[in-house]
Amino acid sequence: MPRLLAVLVGCDYQDAGRPELPELRGAENDARSLAALLAQQPIANGELALLTLITREEATTAQIRQALRRTRRALRPDDNLLFYFAGHGSRDDTGLTLYTWDSEYPATQLIADCGKRPKKTDIILDCCHAGAAVPTASAAHSATLMLQYSKDKLCFLCGATADQSAGEDQGHGLFTQTLITTLAAPHDPALLSLPVDLDVWCAALPKDLRENYHPMATPTDVLPNVARGSVVVRGQPPPAAGTGQNWETAYSPPPA
């Protein structure tokens, strides 16, 4: 039976000692919410085999890369790897850079860490300028919020294009929470199934999100430093985050 192996990362940078990065309120909540969905909801045509959740001070570049390597080694030929990142992102001439708890993680390195001959791998990025992770000429139309890109067995779903910022509301990322709500709703056939099809996930999202009705602002409207990237924060903050979290759970098939 095909298996899903997931590495989920969320970083709010609270107490990270990085004054150049504004603290977030929803990235870690979103990573936990996605972990809960994958752990609790049945996966059609397959099963969840391994789930690694990394937040707060555990979300260093080294630990994220180590988790990816460990998960890749556990993959079987028919398995599906899901990588999710919520946090800050910025764009320069080399493409997208993800900001971890302690340093930077270029998207080019993330792609290299998936291996020269990757098995089925789906990458979901909820950060500013997420679309800069993929070649612009090969991506979906740049006017849309959702950006999809596939090459060989690597598939991307980006919550913002290369020129867009990302948004938070009530302690959650707007893109991720809409995605989770969509995946959790009844759907025939089931959206949460193997192999993962990010094109189908994107098509199932509300039309206003896909057509950029999302309450976004351009980077120049919201960022004190455009090169760094930032987010639009709305609503009341959630309760303070707890201690760091880095847990890995192996799942057994549900009883027949």
**CATH code of residue 96:** 3.40.50.1460
Tell me the two tokens of residue 105: 């993680």
Q: Give residue 210's pLDDT.
A: 64
Note the pLDDT of residue 129: 86
Looking at residue 43, its pLDDT comes to 94
Query: Is residue 76, in this structure, part of any structural domain at all?
Result: yes
Q: Which domain holds residue 69?
A: 3-250
- Please indicate, yes or no, if residue 180 is contained in any of the structural domains: yes
Number of domains in the chain: 1
Backbone angles phi, psi at 30, to 5 degrees: -70, -40
pLDDT attached to residue 19: 86
The model's pTM = 0.83
Residue 25 lies in a domain: yes
Instruction: Please check whether residue 44 lies inside any domain of the structure.
Output: yes
pLDDT reported for residue 116: 83
- 94, part of any domain: yes
239 located within any domain: yes
Tokens standing for residue 124: 């979901």
Give the angle subtended at the CA of 228 by the CAs of 21 and 233, to the nearest 5°: 60
Is 32 domain-assigned? yes
> What pLDDT was estimated at residue 238?
36
Q: How many CB atoms lie within 10 A of CB 78?
A: 13
What pLDDT, on the 0 to 100 scale, is given for residue 249?
Answer: 57
DSSP string of the chain, one letter each residue: --EEEEEEEE---TTSS-TTSPPPSSHHHHHHHHHHHHHHS--BTSEEEEEEEEEGGG--HHHHHHHHHHHHHH--TT-EEEEEEESEEEEETTEEEEE-SSSEEEHHHHHHHT-SS--SEEEEEESTTGGGGS-GGGSSPTTSS-EEEEETTEEEEESS-TT--EEEETTEEHHHHHHHHHHHS--SS-SSBSS--HHHHHHHS-HHHHTT-S----HHHH-SSTTT--EEEES---SPP-S-EEEEEE-PPPP-
In a domain, 256, yes or no: no
> Mean pLDDT per segment of 10 residues, for the chain of length 256 residues?
95 90 91 93 94 94 95 94 95 90 95 88 92 65 50 83 80 89 93 92 78 39 31 36 48 43
